[in-house]
Structure 1
């Protein structure tokens, strides 16, 4: 057991060091505040924030006749006879979503009858994969991560990873990664940190004889 007199002596000897560290911290904080006032920023942190907030240049359209921009926030895939929401949920709300919360979102989405339809759903793995095109590149930047999404630019600066409607075992569901072009299982109720989002889809027949909301 260490004698109390030794403990008091240790505290007395270390007090000057604590004061020095405190003064250094104040000086650093002052420099940061001064830099902020003069327009300087932390380059690494600033770069991370800019990756999320900076205005992105318009993407060059592919002019692929397969896709039709309906000018109402949806895109029709004439080949697969599917109507997709043009921008995904992360593009719209800047939040990731797990599979369980996606069900709640879709229920509300259909109650609101987006563009007049109430039969929106999560796509199957096959439907998600049908949008993957290795010859098409859309830049994807998230904080310090830079990559390329292989999807038609008609969908804008798309996210990388999407939930499908298909479950896997008891607590998992299948997703699709547009960087790698592969499916993957992920926890359905996991935290919203998996970089996963959803792009609602609906099946169309002919030009469109789907389930239009009244």
Structure 2
């Protein structure tokens, strides 16, 4: 009965552009993470990154290409910057400048019509290089609250499966755990470096960090399902 009820939802997900599904996932991560753990440091940072990214995309696409491009890519870049940049308190300029650098790099640094680097990673690298005293990358984890992470992982795995890239996610997780075991054997340290996942206020360590670290969740669930990385053109 449950399978029958889920068929319409599954069919709608199959027809949806994967970029919208990925955007929904990352937005969910940010909303839940900020509500439970304050990972953003304020929603004004998210608004600054999103606003500059989308505005830059609209302006540059109009000036250079003669039409307004779909801002979905800029949206993903903006929320990625909001998630990964950790400046000093009360600083908004890294999100604004990072958003401009990220989107502008897509139009300036190209080879055969394609941008050379991931826009958000490029912008973050420049910010850290130019202003190391003011800007850092994500350096904390969310904790081990199982319910919160279960929601994030459920949507992430559903989306990865829908775009036909679940095998990439599962391969990454399997290899991560296997290599963690090898490292444990080499160093002599324990594979599980701390007690069971509670309370959530204690940050995770060891292999369990792969499931509760924001950067790991982003890399594992967003990257495999990004349209540019999908091997099936019909899904992109």
TM-score, length-scaled by structure 2:
0.23
The structure where helix makes up a greater share of residues is: 2
TM-score, length-scaled by structure 1:
0.24
The structure where strand makes up a greater share of residues is: 1
